[in-house]
Amino acid sequence: MRAIPREIWVLLSANVVIALGYGLIAPALPAFARSFDVGVGAASVIVSAFAAMRLVFAPVGGRLVSRLGERRIYLTGLVIVSASTLACAFAQSYWQLLLFRAAGGIGSTMFTVSALALLIRLAPAEIRGRASGFFSAGFLMGSITGPLIGGALVGFGLRMPFVVYAIALIVASLVVATLLRGVGGRPVVDASAPVVEPLSFVEALRDSAYRAILTSNFTQGFASMGVRVALVPLFVVDADGLDESPALAGVLLAVYAAGNVVAILAAGRLSDRFGRKPLMLPGLAIMAASTLVLGFSGTIVLAGLLSFAAGIGSGLFAPTHQASLADLLSVRGQGGTALAAFQMTSDIGAVSGPVVAGYVAQSAGFGPAFLLTGVVPLVALGFWSVARETAPVRSGAASPSATDGV
């Protein structure tokens, strides 16, 4: 079996560091916001503000990658998030925290879009699923340890995790700057060669697979990146029958990430062998079923088991739809609006999820909030059930083009 390129291992290592830092602040962020005497809804908006700026800046990020290259945009994004996170540690009011956290969303979309563009460029077609799986696993390995360490750091104050996260991002930028020299630079224009424009959003939207990819990516943003990060810590601390400590909220987030890793380690290899849809369909179904009933958990043990199951579902479909996107976009250059739109759907979910579910939780309780969240993967499941398969044939032939399927 073909080896994964060294450059992808570098991205994987950077993902571990980035996710470690992100996980550090996940248990502290809602509680830090609540410390400024705001309600559950306002605390959830802090999570949404970060995603909102990612959403606004995503089209610009795609164009910057096309013009300046992936590596430069990746490093700039890491520095921006590091600076904004350090500023959060010194916030003196809710509005300052909201402003500083939102500013970090600009840098986050820069390194996210550029990292995905690098993965699409560097991963050989026949191991695209496996490369996407390892790529996602790198992020999730950090997500497992991050909340555990972050929960412990809360004991030293709610500001401490932000300081540690800022330092982690500086480490990640040094890793990428040192080990990815000469990769993902400014595109070289060959006047004698035909101009190949990156795949546009309008072109890609004609493809049933791309439409399905957008719905599952929205699910990832809404349920995993939005509602879970914003509401699970509040659910653990405030829900009737639980009333646990913020440190246990970090444990529950880590349990979810552990389920992710268990599934991801198998999903990438299996999707290369059997195709993308055989992994997407059960993954979305498992996540939907476990999320629908999570808010009615009466004990922390049951909540942990359901979180682990949801993590397995997400671990089956998250790297697999990323590999399917790479199948579609790999032949059409750097960046582009189709790639930016993919990122935007996740951010739309991450923006709307905490706001909508947070409002439902505040007005009707956590049970209805997670019930609503569980409907989202069910919708994505419907789109994937009628989508075409994008994986290359076992002989190694190229993937079907984005305009082949409707």
pLDDT digits (tens, 9 = 90+) for 125-149: 778 888 888 877 777 677 667 777 7
Ranking 100-104, 255-259, 289-293, 307-311 by mean pLDDT, the lowest is 255-259
**R_g of the chain computed on alpha carbons:** 20
Whether 275 is covered by a domain: the verdict is yes
Evaluate whether residue 400 is within a structural domain: no
Indicate the pTM of the whole model: 0.75
Q: Are 111 and 342 in contact (CB under 8 A)?
A: no
Report whether 256 contacts 144 (CB < 8 A).
Answer: no
The Cβ-side half-sphere exposure at 158, using a 13 Å CA radius, reads 17
Query: Does a structural domain hold residue 247?
Result: yes
331: confidence class by pLDDT, cuts 50, 70, 90: low
Neighbours of 244 (CB within 10 A): 19
Residue 403 lies in a domain: no
The string of pLDDT tens digits covering residues 240-259 is 667 677 777 778 887 888 88
Q: Is residue 133, in this structure, part of any structural domain at all?
A: yes
Confirm whether 398 is domain-assigned: no
Give yes or no for a contact between 325 and 293, defined as CB atoms under 8 angstroms apart: no
Question: Is 396 inside any structural domain?
Answer: no
Q: Report the number of distinct structural domains present in the chain.
A: 1
What pLDDT score does 241 carry?
Answer: 61
pLDDT at 186 over 60: no
Instruction: Identify which of 349, 363, 143, 389 has the alpha carbon closest to the alpha carbon of residue 253.
Output: 143
Binning pLDDT at 50, 70 and 90, where does residue 191 land?
very low
In a domain, 321, yes or no: yes
**Where is average pLDDT lowest: 152-156, 191-195, 251-255?**
191-195
Structural domain harbouring 143: 6-185+198-385
| Listed range (21-25, 199-203, 375-379) with the worst mean pLDDT | 21-25
CATH at residue 138: 1.20.1250.20
The vertex-21 CA angle with 221 and 39, nearest 5°, equals 60
